[in-house]
Structure 1
């Protein structure tokens, strides 16, 4: 007896495309909109966690430590560090895309805008809400900008570039990079807390949860 079950459609896969091919891959209007919504949301999520004042994401521990020693806002520190990380792409032979450069610029601007609009609340319950909301929003924003398929962010590209050049596990390399930036950030006086731990535990599963729905299916080049 033949099965009458209808096969599930395959999930849209992330394509491995160069910078020019990313722009030529089709559905560019939808992908650009999704990219910039995702990057703005990412910056907002950073600002929410800062105002929650219960710990920051690993790279933001570094950013918060840096601004204690140089005359920069947090968002400006995000931009400066993004381009500093991009310099490390050169020996790794990574190629930035539109999304890479946009990530380096837009996230920091959106973070500073959020910090300008929001103050740190006194009530602990509100600070917890900002922290949790920031983490959840960051997971969704990550899925949005990655799913637009217009290039990895500077920090993600550093991770994948190290793995491609030297080998090893993505998980091990990511953990090593994040432990390093947290230690450096703490030495500079950065902010570490329960939010840092929750972010580290939750951001991967949250992004993975939403990535299938957020990945823009690109036209098959053979069609």
Structure 2
């Protein structure tokens, strides 16, 4: 494996692990409001069983099918790994992290998760080994209609939250913050990690 590819995989897996940790932290802080996609996953979990991570995998699978038909190309390996690993890591961290009913603790979980998941997203996308199912849609919106990553992500996540809410998923003011705010961290972190990756490759 070349030095360049090795560092790309390191960034990719580190980013997935970081993002899954951030997502789980926001789920643990659900009193504040979970992330839009997790509103959907929790709503599906409450209605049909399985686990939150399993629903993250299943919705990711159907999104991959949709984007593949639109792009008329088979997804990259990284996209499939993202679909499988994020859901698996969510269930793992959900088992490891303690539950709490204390408002201050849930607020801490939420704020930490908001920052961690956004940084993790920028980290794994910087590897350019295949965006995850949801982030593939985000990039399609940007390429097709223009605008920023922030706007594309906001449109996508507001839609997911609305469907999740109808299924009984937990929505709070934190959901709005995650829907509208993560792009403000993802965009600069993506630029930072891209520069860092190129520096490591060229050393």
SS, match of residue 189 in structure 1: coil
Show the counterpart of 2:96: 117
Contiguous gaps of at least 5 residues in structure 1: 1-22
**Which deviations, in whole Å up to 9, do the C-alpha atoms of 1:188-219 show, x marking residues without a partner?**
00111122122123311112232232112297
Quote the Cα distance in structure 2 between the aligned partners of 1:113 and 1:150.
Answer: 24
Moved more, 74-83 or 153-162: 153-162
**Residue 36 (structure 2) pairs with residue 58 (structure 1):** yes
Displacement after TM superposition at 1:49 (Å): 0.8
Displacement after TM superposition at 1:45 (Å): 1.0
Moved more, 142-151 or 171-180: 171-180
Show the counterpart of 1:67: 45
Quote the Cα distance in structure 2 between the aligned partners of 1:217 and 1:78.
Answer: 31
Show the counterpart of 2:158: 179
Displacement after TM superposition at 1:174 (Å): 3.9
Show the counterpart of 2:178: 199
Moved more, 35-44 or 152-161: 152-161
Show the counterpart of 1:217: 198
Name the larger-Rg structure. 1
1:49 to 23, 26, 32: 26
**Which deviations, in whole Å up to 9, do the C-alpha atoms of 1:100-156 show, x marking residues without a partner?**
111101111111011111232132111111000001101110111011111111112
Quote the Cα distance in structure 2 between the aligned partners of 1:36 and 1:186.
Answer: 31
Task: Work out whether residues 28 and 100 of structure 2, in 8 Å CA contact, stay in contact via their aligned partners in 1.
Answer: yes
Contiguous gaps of at least 5 residues in structure 2: none
Quote the Cα distance in structure 2 between the aligned partners of 1:172 and 1:52.
Answer: 25
| Structure with greater helix share of residues | 2
Task: Work out whether residues 45 and 111 of structure 1, in 8 Å CA contact, stay in contact via their aligned partners in 2.
Answer: no
Q: Note the aligned Cα RMSD (angstroms).
A: 2.3
Quote the Cα distance in structure 2 between the aligned partners of 1:80 and 1:155.
Answer: 12
Give the TM-score normalised by structure 1: 0.79
1:35 to 12, 36, 40: 12
Quote the Cα distance in structure 2 between the aligned partners of 1:144 and 1:183.
Answer: 28
Go from structure 1 to structure 2 and tell me whether the alpha carbon gap of 1:111 and 1:66 turns closer, same or farther (over 3 Å shift): same
Aligned residues: 196
Quote the Cα distance in structure 1 between the aligned partners of 2:70 and 2:139.
Answer: 9
